[in-house]
Chains A and B, each alone.
Chain A
């Protein structure tokens, strides 16, 4: 609740003191921020009768001076330019400007210069600069995410932008929570270190007045880690509801776009999957596919009963009851259709791509040992005609990440087989991923085969057997969270920034994964929070990954790395 309610509070405060008819003007980022936490009908209740994007406001010429304009923008230079133009020839009666992050003094001066008609009534900073998709999960929806993979020498122009955006996002999280954290970062990642240091500089030096909140006994912890420490989780196929929808179809800002999937009725072409608004989804978002099927069947049965009773209207009282309950009935109808459509489409995709078969091998590669058996399984699947290219690529990548050092000959064989089978994907990509996230680059014990304790644990698990072969994988994040809960996160692997230090365990932890999070990890965080261990974890990333997005980032990164070496 905490992230979504922060955003809602900000928006409420923006709108509450301004009376009369209002128009809300957003930019392409703040649209996402507002849309996941606030609905159109709630805006209407607050008398906001028009919502526009800042770049399209200038195109219209009509003057609507009976409306008051509420702007909510990110303080970027383009937005300031748009604003200056609009202030010079104002369309609305009053202008109330809210920015989602810290404004520079020059920006304020520029705006004041353009405001000849003195239409601006207030300028405030309301720090809602993140997209709160779930109660404990946020994202920054950054467009060029792949930049994090490139070393600083390669791309000198875009990397500072990337880091600035991340630092702004993290700062806004802590400003909305009103806390100032102790910062730790992953030692092996340069970009994590850079982001951690810049955040520390912002919070403790540049804007130390702004961040000077009431100190609690134990400071919260900000941990900045790199996606490349756990490259396995975005590559795996998922079987829990929310993660599965994102993996197979794609969720953006809690919306699912089904238009490319098949022929669907108009009201099911785009649907909303939000745990705040949909009780069924909230109860089932972390359940596995089999259980979801059963729960949906139960939901459909309930609904059928209700609609049957609605059809047998005989007395006046029945009719009155029907009219009373009609809105709820309609809502339930929409909800049931939505979930049934989603599950049907996903089952179709699972059938087509033979994902049950592929995923079994994937989970084996990620969790258990046995190089020989793994090699055989992967080879068989590569030979199988009905497996799609992207799945073949993922299998080879997972194998390479696991058995990088064992039997390089067999690895070469797999590369060749992949090249011969898939026209689109080149094995160079697998080598790229090894270069980025290979065993030398990783800090954490991804496969549980580094220290004796983990090996023993794995063996015990192998002997005991698992409940569900398809969901046996635990993301590395789970181990990290456990270490934090026990206060045993190693200083060697995750050093503190500057002279920060923390005694004991923190009570609030924000983990930021540079390069993106996955829904499997957010599920892990939610389950950990639900287990009442006394620590509240919040997870965030630059984007929310699925295997398609991760592979695209890898391709982009590879392309840029190649073009830069060509130049050099």
Chain B
């Protein structure tokens, strides 16, 4: 697709205009020539912004006043940073999952611990970010409420994607873990029992040993599975809570709410509505009984005063 850059032409003309304007203004200001600071070119590092207000505004407008971004921007940046951290942790988690699934000689308990710790951490980060995100809407002025709402939405979408991702990774890991556990023992422990019964006739010696060994294995398997199930329940609960809270904020893709022109319209409508409400409030206040009462009282005061004076004069 073709584009054309006109910046060069523009800059040339702008400089030409500036040099025409400069001799007119250098006589007005004392210092040699106006210095136009392009504070906006300080780059995207917002924390380096500082108010560069000039002492004498003057006709040449020497510096462009750059203000600090509003305070809620810090909150949103925190949430964004948290999301980045959570992503990094998820990558670690994936590695830990892969390691735990690899066949090894040890019990794999520390792998389990690591995985649990990581999962807990990520869920914590997600929950904290979500709470901070909710707070975002409360603070700040009315003017940039739109921007705040949009920032909220964007971060909420990211958070939700992350939590869905985490959930999916967890479930695949558990599925594979279960497959592995059942793998070396055969298709199913129960099946093995049945299979074993048929072998009872064949081998009298081995079946006793098998039975004991299997009971032990079954018990251990059950305990482990119970623990895992509890863990799954807990994480599912947490994630469901997070997703429920976030779903209010997230935009459904493909619907009318996701359309740019619809959002512009609703802004215009709500601004109009706001104006109407303000005007109505003003009118009611003017018409209000309070004003009338006060006026009446003041008039009464004057009347009484006049009567008093008259009484003094006449008597």
Contact = CB atoms under 8 A, between A and B. Distances in A.
Contacts of B154: 41, 44-45, 47, 49
A342 interface: no
A113 B240 CA distance: 57
B40 interface: yes
B61 A116 contact: yes
B260 A38 contact: yes
Given A38-B260, A324-B168, 16 more contacts: A39-B259, A43-B260, A44-B154, A66-B69, A105-B9, A123-B6, A127-B1, A127-B2, A178-B2, A210-B2, A255-B262, A272-B254, A272-B259, A320-B232, A326-B247, A327-B160
Contact of A124 (B4, B44, B67, B257): B4
Interface stretch (A6-14, A227-235, A241-249, A350-358): A6-14
Interface stretch (A195-203, A288-296, A330-338): A330-338
B46 A40 contact: no
A16 to B, nearest CB: 13
A323 B17 contact: no
Contacts of B267: 52
Q: Chain B, interface size: which category?
A: 35 or more
Given A50-B150, A277-B253, A331-B253, A270 B3 contact: no
A420 interface: no
A335 B256 CA distance: 11
A62 B260 contact: no
A323 B236 contact: yes
The prevalent SS among residues of A at the interface is mixed
A89 to B, nearest CB: 10
B146 interface: yes
A123 B236 CA distance: 51
Contact of B150 (A10, A49, A62, A116): A49
Interface in A105-122: 105, 108-109, 111-113, 115-122
B171 A272 contact: no
20 contacts: A19-B44, A35-B261, A38-B260, A39-B253, A56-B268, A65-B40, A66-B49, A111-B10, A117-B64, A118-B36, A120-B10, A124-B4, A272-B254, A272-B258, A274-B254, A277-B253, A316-B229, A324-B164, A324-B171, A331-B252
Given A41-B251, A113-B17, A255-B256, A316 B3 contact: no
Contact of B67 (A65, A68, A102): A65
A334 B252 contact: yes
Interface of B: 1-7, 9-10, 13-14, 17, 21, 36, 38-41, 44, 46, 49, 61, 64-70, 73, 143-144, 146-147, 150-151, 153-154, 157, 160, 164, 167-168, 171, 229, 232-233, 236, 239-240, 243, 247, 251-264, 267-268
Nearest to A63: B67
A323 B73 CA distance: 32
A374 interface: no
A106 to B, nearest CB: 11
A272 B13 CA distance: 45
Contact of B46 (A6, A66, A324, A335): A66
Given A49-B147, A210-B2, A324-B167, A118 B14 contact: yes
* 6 pairs of A and B residues whose beta carbons are closest in the complex: A66-B69, A44-B154, A112-B13, A112-B14, A277-B254, A35-B261
Nearest to A176: B1
Interface residues of A, number: 85
A267 interface: yes
Most buried by B among A23, A45, A67, A118: A118
A274 B64 CA distance: 45
A274 B3 CA distance: 27
A237 interface: no
A412 interface: no
A115 B260 contact: no
B258 A41 contact: yes
A434 interface: no
A257 to B, nearest CB: 10
B61 A41 contact: no
Nearest to A111: B10
Nearest to A34: B260
B255 A267 contact: yes
B184 to A, nearest CB: 23
Contacts of B5: 122-125
A277 B253 CA distance: 8
Interface-central residue, B7, B143, B154, B254, by most chain A CB under 10 Å: B254
A103 B6 contact: yes
B49 A40 contact: no
Interface in A13-63: 13, 19-21, 23, 26, 31-32, 34-35, 38-41, 43-45, 47, 49-53, 56, 60, 62-63
Nearest to B153: A44
A45 B146 CA distance: 16
